[in-house]
Amino acid sequence: MDFDHIVVGAGISGLGAAYFAARAGHPSLVLERSDRIGGCINSHRFTTCSDFWTEAGSHTGFNSYGTLLSILEDIGQMPRLTAKEEAPYQLWRGGQLAKITSALHPLEAAISLPRLFTTPKAGASVSEYYGRGLGRRNYRDLLSPAFQALICQPADDFPAELLFRRKPRRKDVLRKFTMPTGLSEIPAALARQTDIEVRTEQEVIAVARDGQGFRVRLGDDEELGCNYLTLAVSPEIVARLLPDDLPAAKAAVGTVGMAEIDTLLLAFRSADLDLPRLAGLISVDDAFYSAVSRDYLADPQYRGFAFHFRPGALDAGTQLTAACRALGADPIKVVEIAHVANRLPALRKGHQIVVDQLDADLAGGRLAVTGNWFYGVSLEDSLTRSRQEHARLFEAGAKTH
């Protein structure tokens, strides 16, 4: 075979898969369709602002991210963890800024709260679980917009058990962290590891079995052989690439949708913004789900914001107008603008049935599937899946398929 292990996709899931494989003695080639690595980790640098950066995708690491932290320890990156300064979130509602507590109905919350501890999360949607546990008005006026802001898509039908998975915290680590030049340092550090090779602008168009291994066909018709294969891509691409002898898995994965997000990045000179420090905005009734600030890591000259817009709601010009209105800023004061297309899995109630079908078909084989659509959309959720899949692949000594 040309390679021992090939990974399709160089997001955190794919690079994590390559890391676990390499540590188990299986050198890995990572193939990435785009011209950059990191996937939803994207620390965008504004070229006219002395390389000032703002996160365009994932924004935060937490001390509950045990798998991520163990990797960072192993590759010597823990000293670079950088504290995120605390700042408040605000609501953006009716064209005005408001405190989060202004949308809370305390009496309803007090009456409903006991149900939060007796209502099972498993099998429930976000609206069912939190609407019952904190009250319908609280859900409508505060929780629904907050959850939409968190996952940048309508949240009502999202599986409640996948929104916040309880994870143990490491008290010896910063509660919330980033890296000095953004979270993109993490995939870059993984890509530099021994026995990991990354090739960008490599589109995989087909996968076929080759004995106990696989043949991977690229867009230029080049074919690469491997003993083990990991698909670390979005569900619709997994459904297309899965071998034809896994029809049930292909059909199940094909039902998982994706949410498109239009992200607008803005950089301002600090002196041009008359806006108190804030973590971000939760939009209740505007065209964007949320805005996330770079204020958690102060820069002496600039401030940056990432506005996550509903897909197709506004064109580029009106997005800028809407964002500046929310910030109380004059559009002519924007120093630099960037547009980024983001995608996140649109998980729905009953998602575990899809995962169970896929896992049943993959059992005992040399093919792994990972991504941010198994246990949730966070960095830790993605790496948890990658770790589990590669324990199955390499520790179980898969032989059959």
Per-domain residue ranges of the chain: 3-40+184-256+347-395, 48-61+258-346, 101-163
pLDDT at 166 over 90: no
Task: Give the chain's largest Cα–Cα span.
Answer: 66
- Point out which residues pair with 208 in neighbouring strands: 215
For domain 48-61+258-346, give the CATH number: 3.90.660.20
98 forms beta bridges with 91
3-40+184-256+347-395 and 48-61+258-346: identical CATH topology: no
- Is the pLDDT assigned to residue 358 strictly greater than 50? yes
Q: Which residues contact 256 (CB under 8 A, 6 or more apart)?
A: 235, 236, 345, 346, 347, 351, 354, 373
| Other Cβ atoms closer than 10 A to 118 | 8
pLDDT digits (tens, 9 = 90+) for 267-316: 999 999 999 999 999 999 999 999 999 999 999 999 999 999 999 989 99
Residues 186-192 have a mean pLDDT of: 98
pLDDT for 122: 87
CATH of 3-40+184-256+347-395, one of 3.90.1150.10, 3.50.50.60, 1.10.540.10, 3.40.50.740: 3.50.50.60
pLDDT above 70: residue 165? yes
pLDDT of residue 137: 96
Which residues in 191-206 are b (16+ Cβ under 10 Å) and which e?
bebebbebeeebebee
Cα–Cα distance for residue pair 13/305, rounded to 1 Å? 26
pLDDT at 401: 37
pLDDT of residue 374 exceeding 90: yes
At residue 38, the pLDDT reads 97
* 218-234 mean pLDDT: 96
pLDDT at 63: 96
Give yes or no for residue 397 having a pLDDT over 70: no
| Cα separation, 330 vs 388, whole angstroms | 49
Per-residue pLDDT, averaged over 206-234, amounts to: 96
User: Among 199, 245, 150, which Cα is nearest to 28's?
Assistant: 199
Q: What pLDDT is stored for residue 396 in this prediction?
A: 59
What would the DSSP string read from start to end of 183-194?
A: TTHHHHHHHTST
Which amino acid, 115?
Answer: R
| pLDDT, averaged across the chain | 94
